[in-house]
Chains A and B, each alone.
Chain A
Amino acid sequence: MPVLSVRDLSIEYRTRRGPVQAVRDVTFDLEQGETIAIIGESGSGKTTLAVGLIRLSPRSARVTKGEIRYDDGKRAFDVLSLDAERLRRFRWADCAMVFQAALSAFNPVITIWEQFLDTGRAHGMSDKHKVHDRTRELLDLVHLDPKRVLTAYPHELSGGMRQRVLIAMALLLDPRIVILDEPTTALDILTQRAIIDLLRDLRARLGFSTIFISHDLSIAAELADRMLTMYAGRIVERASVEDLFYRPRHPYSVGLMRAVPRVSGALGSVASIPGSPPDLIRLPRGCSYYPRCPFHVEQCLEEDPPLLQVDTPQHEAACIRWEAVAAALGSDAEAPVAEKLA
């Protein structure tokens, strides 16, 4: 039984120029203990989706349709139907979010301890001592010294330390689901490594399910069980991590794989994706990836392709030309895409 089931979720923003369809018909399941990575670039809708899952979207955003079904075995409900009080209890206790560790994720004028206390109190932990004990426990888990961190102000901590604090804060109420928005972006290499190892460790110990949102393919490669690639507000491919990296079937996924240079191994034929993402207010008819796609045909303009099953039942791609993509990549199942296209 998946702990989170999202069906046909669509979110739009009101802007001066018209409504922006930031998220369109997103459907996916998150199983217990699983880690999903949602990969996309600017304009893909991934951040809108992430904040939309716990209904933290700004006022100008509206969910136009869909449902977000949460089911932990004991309770089941649609997150979108919750009233304010129950939503507050859902947030953090059932599903928590770790934001990017920029300074703006913190209140700059209070200490870290006070932030923990505030967070605990806001979500039903009224006993100060309980919050304190739990905070110390969590700070130990994330390898931070409570003595040093609790009395500090956010600007006194390094980026890596702030990220750890945010992770600890998210785990305050022992949630079942943790959503992380760009957890390693803007961090140094060694710090990224430490955070990735930490997340792996925490996941093993505490057993929560995870959703990563990122533009960084490598974090998906490190931690994800399954991946979704998003483009122009839609999910364009859904697969296990090996399938997506070694056997991508949507041209955008292929393009992404080719566009990321690696440090180890051969460089292969790395190349950028030409063009830019479409205008989300005036979406063209048919497949939104059409102008940038090397595999496109006339038929692609007729309608937005639905997710079609490719190769295996767990692998889907929103492309009517997926077979041509498969053929172009050849039969070597294990080699990375850039080498296959070299």
Chain B
Amino acid sequence: MTEPLIQLDRVSRTYTTPAGTITAVDDVSLSLGESETICIVGESGCGKTTTGRMLAGLLRPSSGRLLFEGADVWEKKGQDLARFRRAVQLVHQDPYASLNPTRTIAQTLAPPLAKHKKAHGRAARAAMISLLERVGLTPPTDFLLKYPHQLSGGQRQRVSIARALTVDPRVIVADEAVSMVDVSIRISLLDLLHNLATEFHVTTVLITHDLAVARYFGRIGRVAVMYLGKVVELANTEALVSDPAHPYSTALIAAIPEADPTITRTKKRVALKGAEVPSLLNLPPGCVFHPRCPLFEPGLCDVLVPQLGDLPGGRSVACHVALRERQPAAELLGVR
């Protein structure tokens, strides 16, 4: 296994409010290699956006480290830090807010090209055209003089991606980048992001609440499922979707409404006890999922916090019961 490109090493992020301390992200570790595609999925409040922003270096962890090429990012200074900033880019969710409304597309793409590639005038224009082609905006010359309000949501997202690409990033974090885009063009945007990884060796992280999107995007990669600030399962996407290990993942996959009447009306649902998600101010003891968990074992789950343990097949899960059930042979043999 080659050296990971970017890593979150036991990071946490807490906020102090008058009402108490909120732990948005709790002890999360993630290692990403070059050209990898990975999704972070979860429902609202699970900490996936916070994790993504910490990965992009836009938010400082309250504890733990962010490592890029082995070095602690928040210890970097000057040129070194600037290089990191350019190496990891974020693509935002809202296509209407991610571009400056008073600037044409050319005026949006020009500054990073001028500053970092020293490209001006004709050279810059050529670079812009090539970038716009790469993100599928053709013919590129049509778009250069347009303002964001003259483009559709999907086109704006492509411009955002093009802008991110002006600095040749090594990592792109797409924060719900397709959620506000029309259904019929999501796939093409996801394909674009996917290509960046496979053809251009950009590590791509997609944060989403939509498991179907995650499955499509991460089909050759991994997915991390988060709940209340913790990663509860980390596995290859196809493995997770066909055979989820954590009861929360199981419930999520079972709950998804599918765009297929026969499947969705006959799918077996997993009943969770209690519909309400606990407040981040008042997390349950032990495993944070235990109040709703169908596999709950008193004395174990409400006392001991489960850690991410490895299972065969390159997956890990943070559940006492799942780990025990799926690894009996290893336990018996004392191999661990």
Contact = CB atoms under 8 A, between A and B. Distances in A.
Interface stretch (A11-19, A72-80, A123-131, A214-222): A214-222
A192 B256 CA distance: 8
A245 interface: yes
Interface residues of B, number: 44
A272 B186 contact: yes
A158 B255 CA distance: 19
Interface string A238-266: 00011001000000000111011111110
Interface in B143-197: 152-155, 182-189, 191
B291 to A, nearest CB: 14
A259 B258 contact: no
A105 interface: no
B183 A259 contact: yes
Interface residues of A, number: 44
A299 interface: no
A42 interface: yes
Nearest to A255: B184
A267 interface: yes
Contacts of B253: 263-264
Contacts of B142: none
B182 A41 contact: yes
B211 A273 contact: no
B43 A190 contact: yes
Contacts of A192: 255, 257
B134 interface: no
B73 interface: no
A199 B155 CA distance: 35
A218 B259 contact: yes
A262 B260 contact: yes
B17 interface: no
B97 interface: no
B272 interface: yes
B259 A245 contact: yes
Contacts of B219: 267
Interface stretch (B101-109, B198-206, B263-271): B263-271
A1 interface: no
A334 B261 CA distance: 11
B209 A188 contact: yes
A254 to B, nearest CB: 11
Given A218-B264, A222-B265, A261 B255 contact: no
A41, A262, A271: most-surrounded residue (chain B CB, <10 A): A262
Given A42-B153, A189-B43, A190-B251, A270 B187 contact: yes
Contacts of B258: 218, 221, 262-264
Nearest to B238: A267
Nearest to A242: B261
A259 B210 CA distance: 14
A41 B264 contact: no
Contact of A259 (B184, B252, B260): B184
B275 A221 contact: no
B257 A221 contact: yes
Contact of A42 (B182, B210, B269, B276): B182
A222 B264 contact: yes
A41 B261 contact: no
Given A188-B44, A188-B209, A222-B264, A273 B251 contact: no
B265 A259 contact: no
A208 to B, nearest CB: 20
A257 B259 contact: yes
A336 interface: yes
Contacts of A216: 183, 257
B211 A189 contact: yes
Contacts of B154: 276
B187 A272 contact: yes
Contacts of B213: 261
Given A41-B182, A215-B183, A218-B257, A261 B215 contact: yes
Contacts of B277: 158
B336 to A, nearest CB: 32
B280 interface: no
User: Which 10 A-B residue pairings sit nearest by Cβ, starting from the closest?
Assistant: A272-B188, A188-B43, A261-B216, A218-B257, A193-B255, A217-B259, A272-B187, A273-B184, A259-B184, A260-B259
25 contacts: A42-B153, A184-B257, A188-B44, A190-B43, A192-B255, A193-B256, A193-B257, A193-B269, A196-B257, A215-B182, A217-B259, A218-B259, A222-B261, A242-B261, A261-B212, A262-B258, A262-B263, A263-B253, A263-B256, A263-B258, A264-B260, A264-B263, A264-B267, A272-B189, A336-B260
Given A190-B255, A259-B184, A264-B241, 20 more contacts: A42-B182, A188-B43, A189-B255, A194-B275, A196-B257, A215-B182, A216-B257, A219-B257, A221-B263, A222-B257, A222-B261, A222-B264, A241-B261, A259-B183, A260-B259, A263-B215, A271-B187, A272-B185, A272-B186, A272-B189
Interface of A: 41-42, 143, 158-160, 184, 188-194, 196, 215-219, 221-222, 241-242, 245, 255-257, 259-265, 267, 270-274, 276, 334, 336
Interface of B: 43-44, 152-155, 182-189, 191, 209-213, 215-216, 219, 241, 251-253, 255-265, 267, 269, 272, 275-277
